[in-house]
């Protein structure tokens, strides 16, 4: 019985976490992406991940781009972007593919 209750409790916590993963912003579209001046890479393996606007609960805030080392040799950075959905906008986070 305890095992079942733990499983149900974990499932509920997981479901709440998944539900919170997507925030719909209803204040209007994000500003156009800024044109960044990309500095020289700090090394040959570094990849530039461009900046983006995030929503801080009241307004869109610019997060500047930066260089990172990819997690694998043949991985490619897919930039994040805002998508119009459900009467607002949701953020699709950037990721490695």
Q: What is the pLDDT of residue 40?
A: 97
Interval 42-77: pLDDT, tens: 999 999 999 999 999 899 999 999 999 999 999 999
List alpha helices for the chain, DSSP H: 2-20
Q: What is the pLDDT of residue 28?
A: 84
| pTM summary value | 0.70
Does residue 33 carry a pLDDT above 70?
Answer: yes
Q: What percentage of the chain has pLDDT greater than the value 70?
A: 76
- Residue 85 in contact with residue 70, Cβ under 8 Å? no
Q: What is the distance between the alpha carbons of residues 57 and 92, in angstroms, rounded to a whole number?
A: 17
Q: What is the distance between the alpha carbons of residues 77 and 96, in angstroms, rounded to a whole number?
A: 5
Q: What is the distance between the alpha carbons of residues 27 and 88, in angstroms, rounded to a whole number?
A: 7
Averaged pLDDT, 23-38:
87
Does residue 16 carry a pLDDT above 80?
Answer: no
Q: What is the distance between the alpha carbons of residues 53 and 59, in angstroms, rounded to a whole number?
A: 9
């Amino acid at each position: 019985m305890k095992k079942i209750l733990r499983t149900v409790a974990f499932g509920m916590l997981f479901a709440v976490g998944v539900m919170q993963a997507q925030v719909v912003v209803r204040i209007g579209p994000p500003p156009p992406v800024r044109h960044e001046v990309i500095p020289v890479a700090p090394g040959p393996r570094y990849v530039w991940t461009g900046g983006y606007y995030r929503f801080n609960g009241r307004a869109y805030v610019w997060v500047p781009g930066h260089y990172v080392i990819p997690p694998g040799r043949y991985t490619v950075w897919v930039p994040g972007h805002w998508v119009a959905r459900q009467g607002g906008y949701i953020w699709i986070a950037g990721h490695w593919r």
